[in-house]
């Protein structure tokens, strides 16, 4: 079968092709992105690598002899073999949006802290090729040095650079390498805050909880930096005497700088099992999880489920050095039903864990892909919740695939493809008993209607039934377009 490759304009329109015929040598597809790679060769190498530099990033479509689209992606590499050398131009090292992460060398509070410069952009390069981000991990330096490094990296790599590689070539040749659109997702950097909220510094103070009306309720406010689903809270506690009840922890919204009246969610913390001699972290899990909004202030209010008892109560570990900047502690006064700040001021020692739905995390990642894909759909229920972990400087496609590799709650694999309209689709593998193709005993692949396989790309992400009644799931397909032979890989 013969194939025809077309280089399109950045807008996806047909163009005049001064380079002549493009011969398709190889194509590949993957169930974790769709079209993966295509190798092309110019029949006439007179149109050299320097001329191809301005076409890097342009869409490429490959059609079969019936005019059906078989492969789609973008031009990533142009290379030309000449006597004694190979000329290569690509977009691999190009970066037109750069920031630097560094450890601050500034004196004062910021010394040694991890900081990041603002992003610097090159509008000319972005207009030509689209936005390609690079987050440079540096060492210890001042803010001025970090900004200088950022600007230097941007000026060096804002445009693709022609490289000369000494190499013996059998014959002069001009080749192009195209990649699938999912590879372009690595042009974005995925960063997010840690989902654990809290204050876990060294203890410097204590407060009795539940011995009398003056300490019947203690409240601590906290600010949510990254929204997520409330999961658990840990408090640093010990007991006095032999209390037999539990502590109740209520989550409330902020109302004019004090806890509101409505309990959004509650959990219990066992104090009977605490040590009377030393402080330890004790955890309560919220049975009715709620979503906490990024940027919002909430309070947790601690009280006991049993009666107040001056001989048996809990003692809460505190931070009187006020290391937690995003909250404050207050005590409830039953005499006038008001909340007052503790004196001396302090913060509780606490750790609040938030979870995220995998679907929400995927959608947050895909929201960064503007200009690369034109939309996305998640066509299956994943039903997994994960702790919110901090990520700094991970490439977007790599982060996306890490999540997809976890699969669904019922242990199905998650697959991904990008269609010709550049809409990304995430879907679950077909059921083990469902198959689209059959492999005969003589090695012929048949579709569900009994006809021979027409397009090898249709195998990707599908199950193939063998003569022994077992099936396999195809993860990758690579096709030698010159002789029609292809190879399959399975999960």
End-to-end CA distance of the chain: give it in Å, rounded: 28
Question: In angstroms, how far is CA 321 from the centroid of its own chain?
Answer: 36
Better-scored residue on pLDDT, 46 or 343: 343
DSSP per-residue codes, 63-78: EETTS-EEEEEEEEEE
343: pLDDT strictly greater than 70:
yes
Q: What is the pLDDT of residues 243-280, one digit of tens each?
A: 999 999 999 999 999 999 999 999 999 998 899 999 99
CB-based contact 405:449 (threshold 8 Å): no
Q: What's the pLDDT score for residue 83?
A: 87
Between CA 425 and CA 428 the distance in angstroms is 10
List Cβ neighbours of 351 (8 Å cut-off, separation of 6 or more): 196, 197, 198, 200, 233, 234, 281
Q: Give the mean pLDDT of 412-420.
A: 97
Nearest alpha-carbon partner for 375 in 336, 435, 420, 342 = 420
109: pLDDT strictly greater than 80:
no
- The pTM score is 0.85
Q: Is the dihedral of CA 441, 442, 447, 450 positive or negative?
A: negative
- Residue 66 burial (C-beta neighbours within 10 Å; 0-12, 13-18, 19+): exposed
CA geometry: angle 76, 181, 17, nearest 5 deg: 50
The pair of structure tokens assigned to 195 is 């989902």
Nearest alpha-carbon partner for 39 in 173, 180, 177, 174 = 177
Q: What is the pLDDT of residues 274-301, one digit of tens each?
A: 999 999 999 999 988 799 999 999 999 9
Q: What is the pLDDT of residues 366-413, one digit of tens each?
A: 999 999 999 999 999 999 999 888 888 899 999 999 999 999 999 999
Number of H helices, E strands in the chain: 5, 38
Q: Give the mean pLDDT of 52-62.
A: 95
Q: What's the pLDDT score for residue 106?
A: 78
Q: What is the pLDDT of residues 219-249, one digit of tens each?
A: 999 999 999 999 999 999 999 999 999 999 9
Backbone angles phi, psi at 204, to 5 degrees: -145, 65
Between CA 283 and CA 289 the distance in angstroms is 15
Q: What is the pLDDT of residues 457-485, one digit of tens each?
A: 999 999 999 988 899 999 999 999 999 99
Q: What's the pLDDT score for residue 467?
A: 85
Q: What's the pLDDT score for residue 392?
A: 85
DSSP per-residue codes, 416-469: EEE-TT-EEEEEEPPPTT--SEEE-TTS-EEETTSPBP--GGGGTT-EEE-TTS
Question: In angstroms, how far is CA 281 from the centroid of its own chain?
Answer: 31
Query: Average pLDDT over the chain, rounded to whole?
Result: 94
Nearest alpha-carbon partner for 233 in 280, 297, 320, 300 = 300
Between CA 22 and CA 49 the distance in angstroms is 14
CB-based contact 209:420 (threshold 8 Å): no
Q: What's the pLDDT score for residue 80?
A: 92
152: pLDDT strictly greater than 70:
yes
Buried b (16+ CB within 10 A) or exposed e, 248-261: bbbbbbbeeebbee
CB-based contact 82:34 (threshold 8 Å): no
Between CA 61 and CA 179 the distance in angstroms is 11
Q: What's the pLDDT score for residue 166?
A: 92
Residue 2 has a CB neighbour count (10 Å cut-off) of 10
110: pLDDT strictly greater than 80:
no
Q: What is the pLDDT of residues 169-216, one digit of tens each?
A: 777 889 999 999 999 999 999 998 887 899 999 999 999 999 999 999
The pair of structure tokens assigned to 68 is 């059906």
Q: Give the mean pLDDT of 98-122.
A: 89
């Amino acid at each position: 079968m013969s194939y025809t490759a077309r280089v399109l304009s950045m807008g996806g329109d047909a163009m005049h092709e001064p380079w002549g015929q493009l011969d398709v040598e190889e194509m590949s597809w993957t169930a974790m992105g769709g079209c993966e790679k295509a190798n092309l060769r110019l029949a006439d190498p007179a149109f050299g690598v320097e001329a191809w530099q301005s076409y890097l990033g342009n869409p490429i479509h490959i059609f079969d002899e019936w005019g059906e689209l078989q492969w789609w992606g973008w031009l990533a590499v142009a290379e030309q073999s000449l006597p004694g050398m190979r000329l290569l131009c690509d977009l691999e090292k190009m970066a037109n949006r750069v920031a630097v992460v560094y450890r601050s060398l500034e004196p004062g509070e910021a010394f040694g802290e991890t900081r990041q410069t603002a992003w610097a952009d090159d509008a000319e390069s972005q207009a030509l090729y689209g936005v390609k981000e690079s987050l440079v991990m540096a060492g210890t330096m001042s803010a001025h040095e970090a900004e200088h490094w950022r600007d230097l990296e941007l000026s060096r790599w804002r445009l693709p650079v022609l490289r000369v590689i000494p190499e013996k070539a059998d014959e002069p040749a001009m080749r192009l390498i195209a990649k699938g659109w999912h590879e372009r997702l690595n042009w974005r950097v995925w960063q997010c805050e840690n989902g654990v909220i809290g204050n876990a510094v060294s203890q410097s103070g204590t407060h009795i909880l539940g011995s009398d009306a003056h300490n019947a309720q203690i409240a601590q406010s906290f600010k949510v930096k990254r929204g997520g689903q409330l999961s658990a809270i840990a408090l640093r506690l010990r007991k006095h005497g032999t209390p037999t009840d539990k502590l109740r922890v209520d989550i409330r919204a902020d109302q004019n700088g004090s806890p509101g009246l409505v309990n959004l969610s509650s959990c219990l913390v066992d104090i009977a099992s605490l040590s009377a001699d030393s402080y330890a972290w004790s955890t309560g899990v919220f049975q009715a999880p709620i979503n906490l909004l990024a940027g919002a202030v909430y309070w947790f209010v601690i009280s006991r489920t049993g009666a107040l008892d001056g001989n048996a109560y809990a003692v809460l570990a505190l931070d009187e050095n006020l290391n937690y900047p995003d909250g404050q502690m207050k005590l409830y006064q039953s005499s006038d039903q008001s909340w007052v700040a503790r004196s001396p001021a302090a913060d509780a020692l606490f750790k609040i864990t938030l979870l995220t739905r995998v679907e929400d995390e995927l959608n947050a990642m895909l929201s960064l892909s503007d200009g690369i894909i034109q939309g996305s759909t998640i066509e299956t229920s994943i039903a997994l919740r994960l702790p919110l972990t901090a990520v700094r400087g991970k490439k977007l496609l790599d982060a996306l695939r890490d999540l997809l590799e976890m699969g669904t709650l019922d242990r199905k694999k998650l697959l991904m493809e990008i269609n010709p309209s550049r809409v990304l689709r995430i879907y679950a593998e077909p059921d083990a008993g469902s198959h689209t193709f059959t492999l005969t005993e003589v090695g012929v692949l048949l579709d569900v209607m009994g006809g021979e396989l027409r397009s090898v790309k249709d195998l990707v992400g599908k199950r193939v039934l063998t003569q022994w009644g077992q099936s396999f799931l195809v993860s990758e397909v690579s096709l030698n377009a010159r002789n029609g032979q292809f190879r399959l890989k399975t999960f």
